[in-house]
Amino acid sequence: MQVIGHRGAAALAPENTWAGFDRALEVGVDAIETDVRATSDGQLVLIHDARLDRTTDGQGLVQDAPWSVVQSLDAGTWFDPRFAGARVPRLDETLKRYGSRVPLVLEIKQPGVELSALEMVDRLGLLAQVAFTSFDFAAVHRIKAHWPATKVGFLTSDIGLSNVQRVIAAGMDQFCPPADALTPASVAEWRALGLEVRAWKVRDLNLMERAILAGVDGMTVDFPHLLLKALGRA
């Protein structure tokens, strides 16, 4: 099972920061997941929310702020004062720093930036190291259509057959349902259809155990150290 640090290691360090990514590497994750948006001047940055307010000392929409403003924001103090000075990373700098060290999962949070992200990954020679996901079907469909060899997954709460079938028809590689929707039978069915199954919304240890017992291929977790322990790998 692939242990994927959610936004780095979000229970251990500020999400979507290099401090969080470094912590994820320290505990031994198999991959790191992070979120991609764009600033007003088109810089691709790693931040989950549409707004700056929750995880930085800035305010307003990410897409309305230029990189000159975003790069100066404190993205660590909200989590713990010892992380004061952590910054919102740019995607290109993060790919250069981590891309050859650990597989990355880029979640497209802002539809419309997906091909720019794909082209950046390609330019740096990291397509084999990077997977793409999104809750926006059109975004991941465009990535798959543009570069079929790219690993792509669809994040969704809809586990109905018609939704699974459109994922297969689009040639996607992963079906990504929430942990609370999983059963061993459903995971076996999706895998028999040729899909990898990666769980998200693993909010607590009970849901983590449910995903393990269901037989998923991987999951994103805020507490990767606990999943590694449960798997006998720590």
Q: Regarding the domain delimited by 2-172, which CATH topology (the fold level of the hierarchy) does it fall under?
A: TIM Barrel (3.20.20)
Would you say 216 and 197 are in contact if contact means Cβ atoms under 8 Å apart?
yes
37: three-class secondary structure by DSSP: strand
What is the pLDDT at residue 218?
A: 98
Q: What is the pLDDT along the chain (234 residues), one digit of tens a residue?
A: 999 999 999 999 999 999 999 999 999 999 999 999 999 999 999 999 999 999 999 999 999 999 999 999 999 999 999 999 999 999 999 999 999 999 999 999 999 999 999 999 999 999 999 999 999 999 999 999 999 999 999 999 999 999 999 999 999 999 999 999 999 999 999 999 999 999 999 999 999 999 999 999 999 999 999 999 999 998
**Contact partners, residue 3, CB within 8 Å, separation at least 6:** 28, 29, 30, 31, 218, 219, 221, 224, 227, 228, 231, 233
Q: Tell me the whole-structure pTM to 2 decimals.
A: 0.97
150: three-class secondary structure by DSSP: coil
Instruction: List Cα–Cα distances, 98 to 105, 126, 198, in angstroms.
Output: 12, 10, 22
C-alpha 85/C-alpha 87 separation (Å) is 6
What is the pLDDT at residue 234?
A: 86
What is the pLDDT at residue 11?
A: 98
**Contact partners, residue 211, CB within 8 Å, separation at least 6:** 179, 182, 199, 202, 219
In the chain, domain spans: 2-172
Catalytic residue numbers read 6, 48
